[in-house]
A and B are shown apart, each in its own frame.
Chain A
Amino acid sequence: MKRECIWQADAQQCVFRELVEAFSRPGAVRDLTDWLAGTAAQRAVLATLMDGETTLADPHARLGAADWSLLQARRDTTESARYVVADGRRAPGFQPALGTLESPEMGATLLIEVAAVGSGPLALELAGPGIDGLGIDGRGELHLDGLHPDWLARRADWTAGFPLGVDILLTDAARIVALPRTTRVTITGNPLT
């Protein structure tokens, strides 16, 4: 059986470094093509972060039985899982864990696949830590395609009470972009309006 390269430790290290960059600089689009060999970015991120010590929920049934045994993550409900893998084209019909005041890291990481990261009709203005602008209160922008409009509305609720919240990683076939809970998002261009 040919093994996808994303199960190799050195590919996972490279993907992890891209994740570090993505979360450090919200809105900055990172391209994982070099490490994927055809695998979808979301799957590579799962391979990088999952093992038997963490929990994962799959409300949109994106994973097969073989994936679960490879990832080794413990299956959990969307309400309590540390990681949730989702299809961004569908509305988020669930409530993820937001963490607690004492342990905000229990707030979930949502891995959401969309049609395109870095291009598309949905235009967002971003502000917050990690965003490089002129001075510390810089603004960034992000274009997306194929994100159900409910996600941003729900995200605004989920991240309203810092330090509680969720941290989002959006992926398309090969690119990733992060919206940690500290990022303030304004919709500046929307195909639906």
Chain B
Amino acid sequence: MSYVAIKGGGRAIAGAAAVTEYLRTEQGLDNPAAEPLAIDAILHQLRHLVDRVVSEGGVYHPQFAALAVKQSLGDTLEAAFALRAWRSTRPRLSATPPLDTSRMRLIRRISSAFKDIPGGQMLGPTPDYALRLLRLELMDESPEAFRAVARDWLENCPEADLPDSFPKVLDALRAEGLLPPLGAVRDEAPFDITREPLVFPVPRSAALSTLARAETGALLAIAYSNMRGYGDVHPTVAELRVGYLPVLLPHPVTGELTEAGEVLMTECEVVAMFEADDAGGKPMFTVGYGACFGHNEVKAIAMAILDRALQKGMQDGPENPSEDPEFVLLHVDGVDSMGFASHYKMPHYVTFQSDLDRLRTTRQKSGEPA
């Protein structure tokens, strides 16, 4: 008799993997029309899932992100985790210089600060003004109808003469002296959170990169606390842009900057409450910055608000959780937090035995029966 699985742990693990794999393929039971999810279908039809996974996984590899979505049965935390673990095995071979986001090939760009902006507002793909009504016609969409939609859209799309780059809304405010000029921080080597541990206080670049691969929901929750009143960022979205950013890398032989590809990303700049500068100069607006891989506007906005809140906290001391760098940066990572939540499912019987011992001893001392 033994309650301890002296043998069998290995079999149990294999069994758990097998039954999970059964769930993934169960649809194929007695169903000749069942097909495995194609990576391409995930990439295109579940693109926001892929966007979350490249962003939270911290590596821009949409194909592997789609694969991770497939193997995790659509669990974004698990999928981002698998992508991160894969990333751990890759050496860092090169670094890009700071990339100029005014060169983004935009699919969407809005400003809530001005009615019209240089280059124009471009609504692009967004559910913002859509009615959230269930589209029951998609319940049984025919392949023919599916293929016709995109074709028709392209045929009816007017030729637009879009410029290669759009000026940033903030540039105009900066030119007017309402924002601090871009400082010398640009020359500082950015902090690489994948290579250096966060030891507080950390530079803003460390905070930004931590936020950029944070879990969307965690980021949103803490930013929301600031929006509701545990903080006073009071942001205005100066600009939110979504598009493809050319990635420039130094050529391995010549060292010359060469376009290596492009990444889909979302960028958000919020203008926040103004403050007088330390030297007693003119009061100016302050800026919060958010950017992440993929199309994920809620994340970029939440990040921009938290960036501003954290800058305030670093400068004046935190008054709210969202202004405390340690509190925010150590609690927004999806891989860390989901892993720790899951670990409580592991056996803890040695520590519990120890707990029992303490409770019994304590009760004995207070004269109660153990």
Are any A and B Cβ atoms less than 8 Å apart in their complex? yes
User: Which parts of A100-114 form the interface with B (CB within 8 Å)?
Assistant: 103
Question: Is B196 located at the chain interface by the 8 A CB criterion?
Answer: yes
B13 in the interface (beta carbon within 8 A) = no
How many whole Å from A168's CB to the nearest CB in chain B?
A: 25
- Decide: A103 and B199 in contact? CB cutoff 8 A: yes
Whole-angstrom CA separation of A103 from B196 in the bound complex: 14
Residue of A nearest to B189 (CB): A74
Could you say which residues of chain B place their CB within 8 Å of the CB of A103? 199
Q: Is the CB of A53 within 8 A of B199?
A: no
B11 near A: Cβ within 8 Å? no
A interface, over-half SS: loop
For A, the interface residue count at a CB cutoff of 8 angstroms equals 2
Query: B151 at interface (Cβ–Cβ under 8 A)?
Result: no
- Whole-angstrom CA separation of A53 from B195 in the bound complex: 7
| Chain A minimum-CB-distance residue to B195 | A53
- Which positions 141-187 of chain A face chain B at CB distance < 8 Å? none
What's the Cα separation between A61 and B196 when bound, in Å? Answer: 28
A106 to B196, CA, bound (A): 13
Q: Which residue of B lies closest to A103 (CB)?
A: B199
Question: Who on chain B is nearest to A102 by CB?
Answer: B199
For A53, give the chain B residue with the smallest CB separation. Answer: B195
**Cβ of B195: which chain A residues have Cβ within 8 Å of it?**
53
User: Contact string, B189-201, partner A, CB cutoff 8 A, digits 1/0?
Assistant: 0000001100100
B137-156 residues at the A interface, CB under 8 angstroms: none
**Measured between alpha carbons, how far is A53 from B196 in the docked complex, in Å?**
8
Q: Which residue of A is nearest B192, CB measured? A: A53
C-beta contact mask, B4-21 vs A, less than 8 Å → 1, else 0?
A: 000000000000000000
Which partner residue on chain A sits nearest B200 by CB separation?
Answer: A102
> Which B residues contact A (CB, under 8 angstroms)?
195-196, 199
- What are 3 A-B pairs with beta-carbon distances under 8 A? A53-B195, A53-B196, A103-B199
